[in-house]
Amino acid sequence: MAQNSEVKQRLHLVFGGELTTLTGVQFRDLDKLDVVGIFPDYDSALTAWKSKAQMTVDNAHMRYFIVHMHRLLDPEQA
């Protein structure tokens, strides 16, 4: 049973892929998107994002993003 004092989940999605240009956010191949995972809070999502971004630092077109899923699921509570 959940308690009122329990911290509310704020889900975050981390994903990335190769972009067509350095200035836009259009992916070269949607079939090759790398879905890193869904995380229960921003801090753990940021840790995963940093790790993946560091692994792809040699490819300027490769970008990773953090999506604040909790804002999409419950916009009133963002």
Give the pLDDT confidence of 44-78 residue by residue, as tens digits: 999 999 999 999 999 999 999 999 998 888 767 65
What's the pLDDT at 77?
A: 64
Is residue 31 one of the residues assigned to a domain?
Answer: no
DSSP 6: S
Q: Which domain holds residue 55?
A: 42-77
DSSP 19: B
Is residue 9 one of the residues assigned to a domain?
Answer: no
What's the pLDDT at 1?
A: 45
Residue 12 and residue 77: Cα distance in Å, rounded?
A: 15
Q: How confident is the model at residue 37 (pLDDT cuts 50, 70, 90)?
A: very high
What's the pLDDT at 73?
A: 82
What's the pLDDT at 9?
A: 84
Residue 12 and residue 47: Cα distance in Å, rounded?
A: 12
| Burial environment of residue 49 by CB neighbours within 10 A (0 to 12, 13 to 18, 19 or more) | buried
Number of domains in the chain: 1
Residue 9 and residue 56: Cα distance in Å, rounded?
A: 29
Is residue 47 one of the residues assigned to a domain?
Answer: yes
What's the pLDDT at 16?
A: 97
